[in-house]
Structure 1
Amino acid sequence: MSFIAEYQTFLNQSDNPNFRTSTGYLYPCLIDRTSQTPVEPVYFFQDTWAARKLFALKPGHHFDIGSSAVTMGILSQFSPVTMIDLRPLEVSLENLSFQYGTILDLPFANDSIESLSSLCVIEHIGLGRYGDPLDSWGSEKAVKELQRVLKPEGNLLISVPVDMECRVYFNAHRTFTRQYIIDLFDPLQLIEEQYVYGMNVQEHYDAERGFGTGLFHFRKPAQDR
């Protein structure tokens, strides 16, 4: 049945005096009648993973660099969160604060952050997509800065696209192999890894499956005493 025909049928059978109906209020939603619940698997699995990790770690304060404001807003309800981004956040929420900054020059001292995340961010750095300067080494520089500010025994949650080789999809993002990510974050210790391929999540990297998203929990080693 077409939208107009369905609207006419609704009018013919409408007997609820509590609501006013008018053609001036028509608001067609024509793509929502689906056979399955729509879900974007990368953000579904990534965000639930990050929530599980943060709930288990229970940091006194969590800092995030450039991730989704929706995700951080939810996570802030069980651990105070400060978001760092180039783009100001125009909403306010208890336990969620904003600080201007760039992942290439974070406004924090060395070894100062107990709990840190940057989800689906470092693959974009240096490609100009979000107004940042072009830099073919942008991802590597971002990783170094995350390592610099993370406190010894502090936790870092990241996610990046993975593939069978490292590639640049200009100006959308880069992809990484598992080994390149592990090497980039050395000497951080890998605590947990998961991989999203299509509508599934698994614990093992599979280069033959091609494009996916890697979820990584790293921890900075304790300093020698």
Structure 2
Amino acid sequence: MSKILKFVLAYFGFYPSQLTGNLKGAPGFFKDLRKIKGTFSAKYPNWKFKYYPILLDKQDQSGKARGQYFYQDLYVANLIFKANPHRHVDIGSRIDGFIAHVASFRAVEVFDIRPLPENIQNVSFVQADLMNPIESLKECTDSLSCLHTIEHFGLGRYNDPIDIDGHLKGLESMYQLLKKDGIFYFSTQIGPDTLAFNAHRIFSISYLLELFKNKYEILTFSYIDDSDKLHVDATLSDELIKSNGGCKMGCGIFVLRKL
């Protein structure tokens, strides 16, 4: 089954692989059910017995250590732990991934156009549209992150205003937030320049480098390829830039210093 067909079916709530896995797991469930039912009532007469079949976990691994978000979140959080900045501000990164990692060892301030109703330890939250500059916070932080977020700005996916230049306005606002010599941890999707409405943009490395020119010094570049392999501190050679690391929809991770 093609990836496109799987995507379309999943979009309408049908997951063929999950159905197949559940069918394979059903005989094992009923075998185990017979075993436990034989002794349950006698051992625990005051307990309720309910049916709650989980049929896929016997086929699973101990965890899913894969995917762009998993690798980028862990990698960048480790960089921030080592850097130990005075203040760290984040723009729209994943709360249950990167922000959770950082909040486990330090305070972090999060700006996002989406609401965050939960009260999370070590996380202070401001709902804001970063396509509009925040003048009161100009040059407010020595450390800033924006992971896998800028590609969505201005596409309306998250109830943000439609703006074809939303990514440019967002990056300019972030530049203004950062102090001189401050460090910017930035990631986004890399590959041939593409607008996939209303999901995301994909940026070529050459396009991103042009945006950074005269604004940032590139300290390191890492990337996650289309097979979810993390390449740490990759050399930005002409060949890598031209090929986008062989990515159609990879993830480029830049560590930048504001000039």
- TM-score class, shorter-chain normalisation, is 0.7 to 0.9
Q: Which residue of 2 aligns with 1:34?
A: 59
- Provide the rounded CA distance (Å) in 2 between the counterparts of 1:87 and 1:19: 46
- Provide the rounded CA distance (Å) in 2 between the counterparts of 1:129 and 1:91: 22
Cα gap change, 1:194 to 1:12, in 2 (>3 Å) = same
Superposed CA RMSD? 2.1
- Provide the rounded CA distance (Å) in 2 between the counterparts of 1:19 and 1:72: 43
Contact 1:59–1:79, Cα closer than 8 Å, also in 2: no
Output the TM-score relative to the length of structure 2. Answer: 0.77
Cα gap change, 1:20 to 1:110, in 2 (>3 Å) = same
Segment of structure 1 superposing worse, 1-10 or 86-95: 1-10
Q: Which letter does structure 1 place at the counterpart of 2:120?
A: L
> Is residue 226 of structure 2 the alignment partner of residue 201 of structure 1?
no
Shift of 1:6: 2.9
Contact 2:73–2:101, Cα closer than 8 Å, also in 1: no
- Provide the rounded CA distance (Å) in 1 between the counterparts of 2:151 and 2:210: 15
Contact 1:127–1:173, Cα closer than 8 Å, also in 2: yes
Cα gap change, 1:35 to 1:142, in 2 (>3 Å) = same
Q: Which residue of 2 aligns with 1:218?
A: 256
Cα gap change, 1:73 to 1:209, in 2 (>3 Å) = closer
Q: Which residue of 2 aligns with 1:89?
A: 116
Cα gap change, 1:209 to 1:65, in 2 (>3 Å) = closer
- Which sections of structure 2, spanning at least 5 residues, go unmatched? 1-26, 235-239
SS of corresponding position for 2:57: coil
Q: Which residue of 2 aligns with 1:72?
A: 99
Output the TM-score relative to the length of structure 1. Answer: 0.88
SS of corresponding position for 1:73: helix
Q: Which residue of 2 aligns with 1:44?
A: 70
Segment of structure 1 superposing worse, 26-35 or 207-216: 26-35
> Is residue 168 of structure 2 the alignment partner of residue 140 of structure 1?
yes
Q: Which residue of 2 aligns with 1:191?
A: 219
Segment of structure 1 superposing worse, 90-99 or 200-209: 200-209
Q: Which residue of 1 aligns with 2:130?
A: 103
Cα gap change, 1:157 to 1:43, in 2 (>3 Å) = same
SS of corresponding position for 2:120: coil
- Provide the rounded CA distance (Å) in 2 between the counterparts of 1:18 and 1:60: 58
Shift of 1:218: 0.8
1:10 pairs with 36, 57, 64, which one? Answer: 36
- Provide the rounded CA distance (Å) in 2 between the counterparts of 1:199 and 1:19: 49
Contact 2:141–2:178, Cα closer than 8 Å, also in 1: yes
Cα gap change, 1:143 to 1:28, in 2 (>3 Å) = same
Aligned length: 218
- Provide the rounded CA distance (Å) in 2 between the counterparts of 1:56 and 1:3: 47
Shift of 1:93: 2.8
> Is residue 94 of structure 2 the alignment partner of residue 56 of structure 1?
no
